[in-house]
């Protein structure tokens, strides 16, 4: 071996290693640069549900943001118009979702690089750092067009929602935006439900603030009982202990304390009201434009008798997230109670639109109750009875429904059924009586005259006597 080579051997070896490392790095950089990215996420990092041995907590899939990948809807026909409509629906879905706080979604060019029915959903979710994948298809038969949308939860490995939309072919270009709007409205409800069920099935000791908050909401979707409300409040207190500056946890606890007030399960009514007021003021101060904070502020202020502030909060929430059907529902309830007949008419339109958008939404039982309040305000007691009965089928623990139902039954002259309804209410929760229910209504509505549509029947039945 030549002397010059021997003396520089180590230098040559080092340079060779540097060249190899640089080449490998360049290869992966170029491959990563070609990978589609999510909006507002410069460098996606895969978040998965996992147990953190250091903290002993379950790290949620998306602790601060839910993530959704929207695929290009499949149009298998050779008709170019079908493909245009399919791509238009995909683009409109993405456009609507980008306006929703706390949900990350892929860009339109990214969506168009993955086609429903062709791309592997799990691979797409991995590449786009998404838990949920929305896929769809468009098909034509004679003069009808059928759009099928499907929402998949990659963590559970299953399809959690599917909906079919049928439209005449000649109207497809006109209604694609409306269909996209309905898809997004329904999907948001299913994502919320899925996140809540994920937290509910996780062990308590593994839950962080996010998990505890979602676990607290679980009772809202199942049996609404006094015990469940108290348990949910405990979850939220634990969440605040973990993260004291979390505005959403504060607002959620304020709302549930207000529920303790209206169901009369709190030991000290005034103390509960003061705590709810303090919590919600702090939460709104911390996050004045957070939609969930505003939702809960509206409900809390409604039950504290601050209807003007409640309406401002709910309208702001709807303004920030027009497709948040939960916020729209809360606004409708408030308008039914406090907006007179004009407010009840607006409430009816809101809830009917909610049902048109997402008829199977997890909040549907509550929407039936909200709509029943509007019909009772308008003096339509037959409609109110039908709606409350539908509501109770889906949520038999919603104690307020029984008093609303009994009021309409008394007005319609069915005293025996009204009394048995009140008996049922006392079996579910002995804490809320007809007189206390009347106090709740008066506090929310603000004056005796405007409260009459909700109390006349109970008065006729002798339920409000001293």
Q: Given a cut of 80, is residue 225 above it in pLDDT?
A: yes
Percent of the chain with pLDDT over 90: 45
Using the structure block, give the residue that is written with the tokens 């008709």: 79
Q: What is the pLDDT of residues 362-414, one digit of tens each?
A: 889 999 999 999 999 999 999 999 999 999 999 999 999 999 999 999 999 99
What 3-state DSSP class applies to 79?
Answer: coil
Q: What is the pLDDT of residue 32?
A: 38
Give the lowest-confidence range in 22-31, 73-82, 364-373.
22-31
Using the structure block, give the residue that is written with the tokens 């409708």: 332
Q: Are residues 24 and 92 in the same domain?
A: no
Is there a contact between 370 and 346 (Cβ–Cβ < 8 Å)?
no
Q: What is the pLDDT of residues 405-450, one digit of tens each?
A: 999 999 999 999 999 999 999 998 899 999 999 999 999 999 999 9
Q: Which residues contact 148 (CB under 8 A, 6 or more apart)?
A: 136, 137, 138, 139, 162, 163, 164, 165
DSSP code for 67: E
The model's pTM: 0.74
Q: Are residues 73 and 184 in the same domain?
A: yes
Q: What is the pLDDT of residue 415?
A: 96
Domain presence at residue 151: yes
How far is the C-alpha of 388 from the C-alpha of 393, rounded, in Å? Answer: 9
Domain boundary among 150, 179, 200: 200
- Provide the number of structural domains found in the chain: 2
Domain presence at residue 262: no
Is there a contact between 137 and 49 (Cβ–Cβ < 8 Å)?
no
How far is the C-alpha of 378 from the C-alpha of 410, rounded, in Å? Answer: 16
Burial pattern 332-348, b for ≥16 Cβ within 10 A else e, equals bbbbbbbbeeebbbbbb
Which structural domain, as residue segments, surrounds residue 10?
3-34
Average pLDDT over residues 103-126: 75
Q: What is the pLDDT of residues 163-201, one digit of tens each?
A: 888 888 777 666 677 777 777 777 777 777 666 766 666
Q: Are residues 119 and 7 in the same domain?
A: no
**Residue 34 confidence class, pLDDT cut points 50, 70, 90:** very low
Average pLDDT over residues 224-241: 90
Q: Are residues 63 and 195 in the same domain?
A: yes
Q: What is the pLDDT of residues 44-67, one digit of tens each?
A: 332 334 444 444 444 444 443 478
Q: Are residues 29 and 120 in the same domain?
A: no
Q: Read off the tokens for 403.
A: 């008093």
Comparison of pLDDT for 7 and 234, the residue scoring more: 234
User: What are the phi and psi torsion angles at 228 (to 5°)?
Assistant: -70, -40
Q: Which residues contact 167 (CB under 8 A, 6 or more apart)?
A: 144, 145, 147, 175, 179
Using the structure block, give the residue that is written with the tokens 């007949």: 341
Q: Are residues 106 and 24 in the same domain?
A: no
Angle at the Cα of 453 from the Cα atoms of 449 and 455, rounded to 5 degrees: 85
In CATH, what number is assigned to the domain containing residue 163?
3.40.50.10070
Q: Are residues 21 and 56 in the same domain?
A: no
């Amino acid at each position: 071996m030549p002397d010059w080579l021997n003396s520089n051997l180590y230098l040559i070896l080092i340079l060779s290693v540097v060249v190899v490392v640089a080449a490998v790095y360049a290869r992966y950089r170029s491959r990563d640069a070609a990978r589609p990215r999510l909006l507002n996420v410069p460098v996606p990092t895969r978040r998965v549900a996992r147990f953190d041995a250091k903290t002993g907590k379950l790290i949620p899939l998306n602790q601060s943001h839910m993530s959704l990948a929207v695929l290009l809807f499949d149009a298998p026909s050779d008709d170019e118009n079908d493909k245009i409509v399919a791509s238009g629906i995909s683009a409109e879905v993405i456009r609507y979702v980008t306006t929703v706080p706390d949900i990350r979604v892929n860009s339109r060019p990214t969506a168009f690089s993955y086609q429903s029915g062709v791309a592997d959903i799990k691979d797409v979710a991995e590449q786009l750092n998404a838990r949920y994948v929305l896929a769809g298809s468009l098909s034509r038969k004679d003069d009808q067009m059928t759009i099928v949308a499907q929402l998949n939860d990659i963590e559970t490995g299953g399809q959690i929602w599917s909906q079919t939309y049928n439209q005449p072919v000649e109207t497809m270009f006109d209604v694609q935006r409306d269909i996209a709007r309905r898809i997004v409205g329904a999907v948001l409800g299913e994502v919320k439900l899925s996140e809540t069920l994920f937290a509910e099935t996780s062990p308590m000791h593994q839950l962080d603030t996010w998990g505890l908050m979602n676990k607290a909401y679980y009772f809202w979707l199942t049996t609404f009982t006094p015990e469940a409300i108290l348990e949910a409040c405990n979850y939220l207190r634990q969440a605040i202990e973990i993260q004291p500056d979390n505005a959403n946890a504060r607002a959620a606890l304020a709302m549930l304390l207000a529920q303790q007030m209206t169901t009369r399960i709190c030991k000290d009514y005034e103390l509960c009201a003061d705590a709810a007021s303090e919590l919600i003021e702090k939460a709104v101060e911390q996050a004045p434009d957070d939609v969930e904070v505003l939702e809960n502020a509206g409900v809390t202020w409604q039950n504290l008798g601050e209807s003007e502030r409640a309406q401002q909060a709910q309208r702001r929430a709807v303004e920030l997230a027009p497709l948040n059907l939960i916020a729209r529902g809360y606004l409708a309830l408030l308008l039914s109670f406090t907006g007179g007949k004009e407010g009840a008419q607006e409430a009816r339109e809101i809830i009917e639109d909610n049902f048109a958008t997402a008829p199977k939404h997890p909040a549907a039982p509550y929407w039936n109750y909200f709509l029943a309040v509007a019909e009772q305000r308008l003096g339509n007691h037959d409609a109110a009875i039908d709606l409350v009965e539908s509501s109770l089928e889906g949520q038999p623990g919603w104690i307020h429904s029984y008093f609303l139902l009994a009021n309409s039954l008394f007005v319609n002259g069915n005293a025996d059924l009204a009394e048995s309804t009140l008996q049922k209410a006392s079996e579910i929760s002995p804490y809320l009586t007809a007189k206390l229910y009347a106090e709740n209504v008066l506090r929310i509505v603000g004056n005796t005259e405007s409260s009459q549509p909700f109390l006349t029947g109970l008065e006729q039945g002798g339920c409000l006597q001293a």
